[in-house]
Structure 1
Amino acid sequence: MATKEKPTIVILHGWALTGDTFLPLVEALTKRGYRAISLDFPGFGSAELPKKPWGLADYADWLRDWLQKQNIKKPVLFGHSFGGRVSLKFQQIYPDKVTALVLSGTPGYTPASRWAMMVGFIFSKIGGAFFSLPPFRLVEDRARLLWYRLIGAKDYLRPQKVMRETFKKIVTEDLVASMKSVRCPCLLLWGEGDRMVRVGIARRMTPTIPGSKLIVVADARHGVAFKKPEETAKIISQFIQNDAAA
């Protein structure tokens, strides 16, 4: 059972994942005396779909309400990839409701080049008209999937249109202001071999986020948190004790 001195750790999953993905990390943190919870965002796992396409602020508002219902005050937010985007936006909007941030594989700066994102924007605008033509309707999803893979957005294609539109909103949101607004302790935890969000992005993020620290885990990739849960839990615990103690 968590002690009063130890904050609750809320784990926010990445796109195309669920809270269950991080159960090994929950178990590892629980062994260290923390109350750790991994949730399902709306549109993932057992959670309901959003009624309309959501942006990061919508997910941040949902998280605020969820924390209130769970009676969780000032947690440490562990955000993996997309979950880290939500964490950054949450602390920007609700800075008094979070103790610390741990970001893992979070694209604070887009992995795609500006050129690729610009072409992607143009593609998204003209693609609808192009693929409305009868000869191309059958290959629309395959073509879109190929394109978004080329610009570094592998998780675009989802079965539900509302989630595809949500994804487009999420990946085009600029996080620089959110990163600069961080006033709580923040740890960047990266897999050395992360190919989805390379360590170079983490190194750009570190000076942007005031007072943040970067730890790179050897022999690990984008899924370091659930592939190496014991090592991840140890790093998180040390960070909380040394940098985020009440």
Structure 2
Amino acid sequence: MHLFENYFIDVNGYNTRYWSVGSSPSIILLLHGFALSVEFWSENILELSKDHKVIAVDLLGFGQTDKPKSKPKLENHPLFIHEFLKKLNIKKVKIIGHSMGGLISLKFSQMFPEMVEHLVLIGSPGFRTDIPIHLSIFSLPFLGEIMVKPNKKGLENALNRNTFNKNVIKKEQIELLYNYSLNPQMNKVLLWVNRSAVNIFGIKKHIVKTIKKEIHKLKMPVMIIWGKEDSIIYVSHAHAGKELIQHSRLVIFENCGHMPQIEYPEKFNEIVLDFFSQ
């Protein structure tokens, strides 16, 4: 696992961690998935930073970024990213968002289309409502509270459920996430964030409805990347996204789960760099 230097910046009163690698005027912004952190881009950053400056940020409440003081709404996350970029004096970015980070990237690109040069969505919710039942159960009172308790074995199982090829998640990544989960506020944040977007029926209908209604704002080039065997956000969501964003490019990785960038980093990096060069 490649580790890079930690930088911290104050965003709306929250101490926010990010990595910044490379010196090109062309900037790639990486937004990680639910419960993850910047370390989950460690196989992509070096390659992507050869032609671009790469900035990976710990989203509000995750990794080493401060925990929110109150229940964040979905809209708070794109606004947080907007403020983060403003603080770094960045006017334009190419965004790559994974899973929850994909949903945030999608919302950000609809709210601030003039700032987004290219958009890459990996296994991103937002196009359909159906998700696996265990993610819906997590949103229920009491049951969510039980499921969210720190548990290393449970965490390892959850991460393995994210991938088709087992053992691609490194031991130190599991250790790292487990340590993050021991933060006394982490449980609350995971439940808040999950419940802001999910209920027992899946992704909340109004979220998908709003995304569909504002899909016309995505004038920038869009690429949708998915693992064919994704058991977290099903590949049917990728096809729904392609149908909605007519001009988008769809790439499906065979024998791959919810984390193409980790399961097939070389192929992922190559496809993305090629897309950004057009």
TM-score (norm 2): 0.69
Contact 1:183–1:210 (8 Å) recurs in 2: no
Instruction: Please say if 1:93 is aligned against 2:129.
Output: no
Aligned residue runs from structure 1 range 75-94, under 5 A: 75-94=93-112
Letter paired with 1:45: G
> Secondary structure of 2:243's match?
helix
Choose the corresponding residue for 1:227, options 260, 263, 277. Answer: 263
- C-alpha distance in 2 between matches for 1:203 and 1:24: 27
- C-alpha distance in 1 between matches for 2:96 and 2:186: 27
* Pair 228,43 (structure 1): closer, same or farther in 2 beyond 3 Å: same
Instruction: Please say if 1:175 is aligned against 2:200.
Output: no
Contact 2:61–2:186 (8 Å) recurs in 1: no
Contact 2:36–2:62 (8 Å) recurs in 1: yes
Q: Deviations over 1:103-143 (max 9, x none)?
A: 00002222338xx79x969x84xx4xxx5xxxxxxx77337
* Pair 176,182 (structure 1): closer, same or farther in 2 beyond 3 Å: farther
Deviation for aligned residue 1:162: 3.9
Instruction: Please say if 1:194 is aligned against 2:230.
Output: yes
Letter paired with 1:12: L
- C-alpha distance in 2 between matches for 1:196 and 1:187: 19
Aligned residue runs from structure 1 range 58-69, under 5 A: 58-69=76-87
Query: Any stretches of 5+ residues in structure 2 without a counterpart?
Result: 1-21, 150-157, 159-180, 199-203
- C-alpha distance in 2 between matches for 1:185 and 1:58: 25
Q: Which runs of 4+ in 1 moved over 6 A?
A: none
Deviation for aligned residue 1:47: 0.4
Aligned twin of 1:166: 193
Contact 1:190–1:202 (8 Å) recurs in 2: yes
Q: Deviations over 1:7-31 (max 9, x none)?
A: 2111100001101111211112123
Contact 2:99–2:122 (8 Å) recurs in 1: yes
Instruction: Please say if 1:142 is aligned against 2:146.
Output: yes
Choose the corresponding residue for 1:13, options 29, 32, 35. Answer: 32
TM-score (norm 1): 0.77
- C-alpha distance in 2 between matches for 1:213 and 1:50: 35
Deviation for aligned residue 1:189: 0.6
Aligned twin of 1:214: 250
Letter paired with 1:222: H
Percent of aligned pairs with the same amino acid? 28
Query: Any stretches of 5+ residues in structure 1 without a counterpart?
Result: 132-138, 150-156
> Secondary structure of 2:78's match?
helix
Letter paired with 2:241: M
